[in-house]
Amino acid sequence: MSDWRTAKRIVQERLARYGTSDPDTISRALAEAIRFYSRHNFWFNEESYDFDTTDGTPNYGEESSAGAEDGYPSNFLKAIKLSLQVSSSWYDIDNISMPEYRRLFLGASYKGYPERWTWYAKEILLEPTPNSAYTVRLDYTKDIGIPVDSYDSSNWSFTDSTDGTTISDGWTNDWLSEALDLVTARASWWLLTNVFRNTELGMLAKAEETQQLDELFIDSEHSQFPGPVRPWV
């Protein structure tokens, strides 16, 4: 499994012609790359979460948060889709815009099977208001970013949010084990564009980043939709 040290070494080797050896600047570029792609959907950062509706309650917020029923977990970044369980069957709930929700929502007293949902003010809003307790499944993009609480912009020293220490070179997660080529390509582009100000080489690095992104999307499709490939006959 690849780790932070490996990622820094790859970027450093790509930029060796510039003589860069500053590990903190490379760490910043890697962190920016992970942050940039954190809301993209890949097979390794998608998750499901089930919550129960309450009769007469249309809004659902973060689990254990005040003012709303539990609707999504603390590692939630972005909703992909919602499904409603009725008996033993699952039905997709349509995603609508907030203006459309306002037009359709007739108040908490107008109840039924939730058929539509929208996202507003960090809450999932269902329409119509549930008339009973139903199980809703939320498919979402989860946060698996680097364990960074803050970094000192004067020297790009990153701090681990768990114990206040700098990130160790042995640290790893799915971004480094499953998307190493994409993350390092993005970090290289970031450095060439923002540090070295080399537009020409930055464009080449961007092309490589685009290729790695396409390949990761293909890998994600294969992982999410397993099964044999049947040839046309």
For residues 128 and 58, membership in a common domain is answered with yes
* Among 97, 120, 108, residue whose Cα is nearest residue 53: 108
* Distance (Å, whole) CA 18 – CA 192: 10
Does 189 fall in a domain?
yes
**CB within 8 A of 137, min separation 6: which ones?**
48, 49, 50, 82, 83, 84, 85, 90
Q: Are 10 and 181 in contact (CB under 8 A)?
A: no
Q: Are 199 and 216 in contact (CB under 8 A)?
A: no
Residue 51 confidence (pLDDT): 93
For residues 117 and 88, membership in a common domain is answered with yes
Confidence of residue 19 (pLDDT cuts 50, 70, 90): low
Does 211 fall in a domain?
yes
The torsion defined by the Cα of 129, 131, 137 and 141, in degrees rounded to 10, comes to: 20
Mean pLDDT of 220-227: 61
Does 231 fall in a domain?
no
Does 233 fall in a domain?
no
Tally Cβ neighbours within 10 Å of residue 157. 14
Does 229 fall in a domain?
no
pLDDT per residue over 66-113, tens digit each? 545 688 998 999 999 999 999 889 999 999 999 999 999 988 889 999
For residues 137 and 175, membership in a common domain is answered with no
Whether the per-residue pLDDT at 39 is higher than 90: the answer is no
For residues 61 and 135, membership in a common domain is answered with yes
HEC profile of the chain? CCCHHHHHHHHHHHCHHHCCCCHHHHHHHHHHHHHHHCCCCCHHHEEEEEEECCCCCCEEEECCCCCCEEEECCCEEEEEEEEEEECCEEEEEEECCHHHHHHHCCCCCCEECCCEEEEECCEEEEECEECCCCEEEEEEEECCCCCEEEEECCCCEEEECCCCCECCCCCCCHHHHHCHHHHHHHHHHHHHHHCCCCHHHHHHHHHHHHHHHHHHHHHHHHHHCCCCCCCCC
Residue 167 confidence (pLDDT): 61
Tally Cβ neighbours within 10 Å of residue 176. 21
Residue 233 confidence (pLDDT): 33
Count: domains in the chain: 2
pTM: 0.77
**High-pLDDT (> 90) share of the chain, %:** 49
Domain extent for 89: 47-142
For residues 133 and 57, membership in a common domain is answered with yes
Give, to the nearest 10 degrees, the angle between helix 199-224 and helix 180-194: 160
For residues 153 and 85, membership in a common domain is answered with no
Residue 152 confidence (pLDDT): 47
For residues 122 and 60, membership in a common domain is answered with yes
Whether the per-residue pLDDT at 156 is higher than 80: the answer is no
For residues 73 and 15, membership in a common domain is answered with no
C-alpha pair distances (Å), 155 with each of 24, 28, 91, 221: 7, 10, 51, 39
- On average, the pLDDT of the chain sits at 83
pLDDT per residue over 182-191, tens digit each? 999 999 999 9
Q: Which residue has the higher pLDDT, 210 or 7?
A: 210
Q: Which residue has the higher pLDDT, 208 or 162?
A: 208
For residues 118 and 156, membership in a common domain is answered with no
Mean pLDDT of 21-44: 85
For residues 211 and 162, membership in a common domain is answered with yes
Q: Which residue has the higher pLDDT, 2 or 156?
A: 2
For residues 34 and 106, membership in a common domain is answered with no
Burial of 41 (0-12, 13-18, 19+ CB in 10 A): middle
